[in-house]
Structure 1
Amino acid sequence: MAMIACFDMDGGRGGFTNGFFAHGFDIDSSGGSDKASPANARVEPADRFAAGAPSVVPEDAPRPEHFPTGRTHAQIVALFAGKSQRREQGIARVLEDARAKGKPVDRFVACITYDSEFAPKTTNRRQLLELGIMVPASDSLPKSAADVHRCLWTILYGLARLGIYLTGTDGFDDRALLAKLCATILVEEINDIPPSADMSEFIDVDPIHSFVEDEASLSPDGLSGPFDFGSNDEDEEFGAQPRLDRDRLLPRPDRR
Structure 2
Amino acid sequence: MSSQIFFGRNPKAKIHTISLLFIYGILNFTLLSCGQNQPQEKKEEQSEKSMTSDKPIILFFGNSLTAGYGIEEDEAYPSLAGQRLDSLGYDYQVINGGLSGETTAGGLSRLDWFLEEKPEIFVLELGGNDGLRGIEIEETKKNLKAIIATVRTKYPDTGIILAGMQIPPNMGQDYTKRFAEIYPEIAKEENVTLIPFLLERVAGNPDLNLRDGIHPTEEGHKIVLENIWPYLYAQIKDA
Q: TM-score range by the shorter chain?
A: under 0.3
Give the TM-score normalised by the residue count of structure 1: 0.24
TM-score norm. by structure 2 comes to 0.25
